[in-house]
Chain A
Amino acid sequence: MERSHAPEVQVTEKIEFISPAKLTTKSGIPFYAMQNPTSEAVRLELLFHAGAIYHNPVIASVTAGLMLAGTSEHTMAEIHDKMDDLGGFFDSNLNAEFSVLNIYGLNESICELVTLIENCLYNASFPASELTHLLKDRKEKLKVRMEKVSVLSQRAFQENLFAGTPYGVISFPEDYDHIERQDIVDFYENHYKIGLRRITFVGNLTDDELSKMVGTFDRWENKVNTNLPSFPAPKSGSIHIEKNGALQVGLRIGKMLFDRKHPDYHKMMVVNTILGDYFGSRLMSNIREDKGYTYGIGSYVSENLHGVHFVIATEVGKEFMEDTLVQTRLEIEKLQSEPISDAELSLVKNYLLGQILQSADGPFAMMGLFSSVEINDLDYAFLDTSLQTILTISPEEILETAKQHLDWDQMLIVTAG
């Protein structure tokens, strides 16, 4: 048995991206539907222009948290019992720009479930007692979160990188003491009822059932003004947040970047992967696998529409913080000065292509990919360009991209510990 030679590897060169069917509600909100013929599992996702940037993080998160807290006809417990009857689950996610509500259920009862939930969402009454409770509970949860160095460093990074913009506003426990119910109701009226940006559906319904479901959302609208003030000059430099007794330091290093329409975007994604976005990345190899300073380190490009930024994130032993900064800088400078070897580049290319293949595997994954391009007003040509860039990018282009967009002097460095 010849074990020291690797079996031949085949490169993924083509991936078929499947488009969902597009329907629209009466008011023109797009409803995308992807068939899932082999399973009973169904998901409906509602995307609202109701992120934290439109008011403040507390208002946005509390409104999202109370969407199924009651109507004039039903209490929260009654709503949840009815959902349970149909085997339904509901969750919500909030980011700076959007509020995402997800309904999960079974194909056999999804029409009933969606009718029920749409009705509760449209008639949400934000009961005062549920609001009071949620504010207190959220306040306590935030206090717990603020004991973590990862959270402290992330908050300070966000607050400083986006200083002077709605993206840079963070919440504090005392903010939860000063919330008026009317602000929640107003936010709901202005960002949910008339803020529905998109509906996506993965399941197995007939055309008739689908168009009926689309009709359920005819009374929702999308009229939110999403024009944002421009971002001030980006901030760099170092900030430290003291946390007594911490054994590790939370570290964030990053800068503002550009959005998906910038010509260097795809190249930057390759650079980011090489530097810190997979297990074999330069940062993981150096800081974890060579030095053992951390359980994990990674770099990311944020998925916002605006205020897209690059960030390196890790928690390292206190005694390793200084050298982690030195080594991180060295790794970035190496990317900017030494061309990547053919062996490493071909590995990264193959790896990335395999990951995209995986992210297109199955209707739920495929809908995720579609959603991420659609929200940027792009289509699958964007993913095809991404594939082409990965297949053809040269060592020189990588070096140039790193030079142009990862200048250490422009980095904002936050440590908490």
Chain B
Amino acid sequence: MIHFHRFQLENGLKVIFHQDKTTPMAVVNTLFDVGARDESPSQTGFAHLFEHLMFGGSVNIPDFDGPLQRAGGNSNAFTSNDITNYFDVLPAKNLETALWLESDRMLSLAFSDKSLETQRSVVIEEFKQRYLNQPYGDVWLELRPLAYKVHPYQWATIGKDISHIENAKMEEVRSFFEKHYNPGNAILTIAGNFENQQIEDLVQKWYGDIPGKVKAARLLPQEPKQEEFRTRTLERDVPAEAFYYAFKMEERKSEGYYFADMLSDEVGKDKTGKLYLKLKKELRLVHEINAYILGSMDHGLFVISGKLLPGTSFESMETALWEVLEEFKTQRIHNDDLIRLKMKMKTSRAFQEQGLLNRAMNLSFFELLGDANGINEESEIYNAIDSEHLRNTAQQIFRRENCTRMFIKPLVK
């Protein structure tokens, strides 16, 4: 059970405080309800570029990291297709330093030209390092637009094209901030050895005077139901053939999300799972095979990916793969396996809850989903899943017309 105290400021800022009396550290986690899905198709990569600029100085404080480091703390952030999340970890007695820094950058940024120029360049290098200069690194840049025809999930957080970052202008960056960075669009979670009143007072002190704004309505184009098998083959300078099957699955807030999540654990199970045993161990078709979900807020993807062993073919792999998926659609998962899945989830949860930062981040995220207490209800949802749920989910998901397939072949030199 993760306890918390929740309150809201008049400007709309939602605050979660999680007390932990055992730690000398504090966490300040700020989740902004903005991600790559909120970008315009002609300015992709902005949410992520913006995350970098948030460290480039705010309206009253020229440097973000220096003062935090001076207080013994460190900080980082990540951007996904759905959210942008910032976090600081520092000795609890210096909590106020983090609140001072975080509230000032929520108020407004410095918007210095130097910061934009540098971070533009840093993000371009990040684009190269993570997507262009890695074997198979650009798969998702190509797979997303094939799987999503209209929804903004069709681009990755880094952006669909490096030119969008190269051409970003200061006034565009500024208007992105104006639109998405305000108290009503944020969830602040503080964790550490403090008292409720103390946190309420401190948050009021530092965030109370930030002007509130009406939260902009999110009107995203909804992806129409996929009704045809989609496929593409890329030729790249890679050592082995790789394959990606991306099936549409339900959105984060639906029951179906939990079914798909558990199904992916069973399908992707290492050493004892059906895919592993058939394709990797028995038939020796692949040297690697995985199943996982992209837990997106809107309709997400259930992915099966892997790499072929030399001398095997996409055709034989594909035949075997669909045979295994067919078994998940027709046969119920054995009760022993269901119990195993639930046991492993229990262990994973116990380890996740070890970390103060993890707890703070998850509280923010569940509050975004509608209620921070969801963090305490999730295990019940998983425990109630039975083999019939999983079979039905397999029937809904593992259909050719629900599938986008990407093959990557080595270049013929």
A residues in contact (CB < 8 Å) with B: 1, 3-4, 6-7, 9-12, 38-41, 76-77, 80-81, 84-89, 104-106, 133, 136-137, 140-141, 143-144, 146-149, 245-248, 278-280, 288-295, 315-317, 346-348, 350-351, 353-355, 357-358, 361-362, 364
A80-B272, A140-B307 known; A41+B350 contact, CB < 8 A: yes
Contact partner of A84 among B72, B122, B135, B340, CB < 8 A? B340
The number of chain B residues with a CB under 8 A from chain A is: 78
Query: Is B354 positioned at the interface, with any CB of A under 8 Å from its CB?
Result: yes
Query: Is B126 positioned at the interface, with any CB of A under 8 Å from its CB?
Result: yes
Chain B residues whose CB sits within 8 angstroms of the CB of A357 once the complex forms: 24-25, 72, 91
Cα–Cα distance between A347 and B75 once the two chains are bound (Å): 15
Query: Is B310 positioned at the interface, with any CB of A under 8 Å from its CB?
Result: yes
Cα–Cα distance between A136 and B134 once the two chains are bound (Å): 22
Chain A residues whose CB sits within 8 angstroms of the CB of B205 once the complex forms: 1
Instruction: Determine the residue in chain B with the shortest Cβ distance to A294.
Output: B125
Cα–Cα distance between A41 and B374 once the two chains are bound (Å): 21
Chain A residues whose CB sits within 8 angstroms of the CB of B93 once the complex forms: 10
Q: Is the CB of A105 within 8 A of B25?
A: no
Q: Is the CB of A147 within 8 A of B94?
A: no
Which residue, A247, A358, A362, has most C-beta atoms of chain B within 10 A? A358
A245-B237, A295-B125, A362-B23 known; A355+B133 contact, CB < 8 A: no
Q: Is the CB of B309 within 8 A of A87?
A: no
Chain A residues whose CB sits within 8 angstroms of the CB of B24 once the complex forms: 357, 361
Contact partner of B284 among A105, A133, A278, A358, CB < 8 A? A133
Contact partner of A105 among B135, B307, B347, CB < 8 A? B347
Cα–Cα distance between A224 and B272 once the two chains are bound (Å): 34
Contact partner of B344 among A76, A89, A136, A294, CB < 8 A? A89
B residues in contact (CB < 8 Å) with A: 22-25, 59-61, 65-67, 69-75, 89-91, 93-94, 96-97, 100, 103-104, 107, 117-122, 124-126, 128-130, 132-136, 205-206, 209, 237-240, 270-272, 277, 280-281, 284, 287-288, 307, 309-310, 336, 339-341, 343-344, 346-348, 350-351, 353-354, 356
Instruction: Determine the residue in chain A with the shortest Cβ distance to B117.
Output: A292
Q: Is the CB of A137 within 8 A of B288?
A: yes
A4-B61, A357-B72 known; A10+B272 contact, CB < 8 A: no
Cα–Cα distance between A10 and B96 once the two chains are bound (Å): 11
Q: Is the CB of A85 within 8 A of B339?
A: yes
CB B140 to nearest CB in A, in angstroms, measures: 17
Main secondary structure of the interface of B (DSSP, over half): helix
Q: Is the CB of B343 within 8 A of A86?
A: yes
Q: Is the CB of B74 within 8 A of A355?
A: yes
Contact partner of B66 among A38, A76, A137, A347, CB < 8 A? A347
Cα–Cα distance between A78 and B75 once the two chains are bound (Å): 44
CB A251 to nearest CB in B, in angstroms, measures: 12
Instruction: Determine the residue in chain A with the shortest Cβ distance to B345.
Output: A87
Chain B residues whose CB sits within 8 angstroms of the CB of A247 once the complex forms: 128, 132-133
**8 intermolecular pairs with C-beta atoms under 8 Å apart:** A12-B72, A84-B343, A247-B132, A279-B75, A293-B121, A315-B125, A354-B74, A362-B22
Cα–Cα distance between A12 and B340 once the two chains are bound (Å): 45
Q: Is the CB of A6 within 8 A of B67?
A: yes
Q: Is the CB of A141 within 8 A of B118?
A: no
Chain B residues whose CB sits within 8 angstroms of the CB of A136 once the complex forms: 284, 287, 309
Q: Is the CB of A144 within 8 A of B238?
A: yes
Contact partner of B122 among A1, A76, A295, CB < 8 A? A295
Q: Is the CB of A38 within 8 A of B22?
A: yes
Chain B residues whose CB sits within 8 angstroms of the CB of A6 once the complex forms: 61, 67, 70, 97, 100
Instruction: Determine the residue in chain B with the shortest Cβ distance to A68.
Output: B271
Cα–Cα distance between A88 and B350 once the two chains are bound (Å): 12
A3-B100, A292-B125, A317-B125 known; A358+B25 contact, CB < 8 A: yes
CB A40 to nearest CB in B, in angstroms, measures: 4
Q: Is the CB of A140 within 8 A of B240?
A: yes
Which residue, A89, A295, A364, has most C-beta atoms of chain B within 10 A? A295
Q: Is the CB of A361 within 8 A of B25?
A: yes
Instruction: Determine the residue in chain B with the shortest Cβ distance to A146.
Output: B239
Contact partner of B70 among A12, A149, A315, A350, CB < 8 A? A350
Chain A residues whose CB sits within 8 angstroms of the CB of B107 once the complex forms: 3
Q: Is the CB of A104 within 8 A of B240?
A: no
Cα–Cα distance between A39 and B134 once the two chains are bound (Å): 40
Chain B residues whose CB sits within 8 angstroms of the CB of A137 once the complex forms: 280, 287-288, 309
A140-B309, A289-B118, A293-B121 known; A347+B347 contact, CB < 8 A: no
Q: Is the CB of A280 within 8 A of B347?
A: no
CB A411 to nearest CB in B, in angstroms, measures: 23
Chain A residues whose CB sits within 8 angstroms of the CB of B134 once the complex forms: 147-148
Cα–Cα distance between A290 and B115 once the two chains are bound (Å): 9
CB A73 to nearest CB in B, in angstroms, measures: 17
Chain B residues whose CB sits within 8 angstroms of the CB of A290 once the complex forms: 118
Cα–Cα distance between A263 and B23 once the two chains are bound (Å): 33
Q: Is the CB of B132 within 8 A of A292?
A: no
Instruction: Determine the residue in chain B with the shortest Cβ distance to A11.
Output: B72
Chain B residues whose CB sits within 8 angstroms of the CB of A278 once the complex forms: 69, 74
Chain A residues whose CB sits within 8 angstroms of the CB of B125 once the complex forms: 248, 292-295, 315-317
Chain A residues whose CB sits within 8 angstroms of the CB of B287 once the complex forms: 136-137, 140-141
CB B324 to nearest CB in A, in angstroms, measures: 15
CB B104 to nearest CB in A, in angstroms, measures: 6
Q: Is the CB of B74 within 8 A of A149?
A: no
Chain A residues whose CB sits within 8 angstroms of the CB of B341 once the complex forms: 84
Instruction: Determine the residue in chain A with the shortest Cβ distance to B310.
Output: A140
Which residue, B126, B272, B346, has most C-beta atoms of chain A within 10 A? B272
CB B311 to nearest CB in A, in angstroms, measures: 10
Cα–Cα distance between A294 and B136 once the two chains are bound (Å): 21
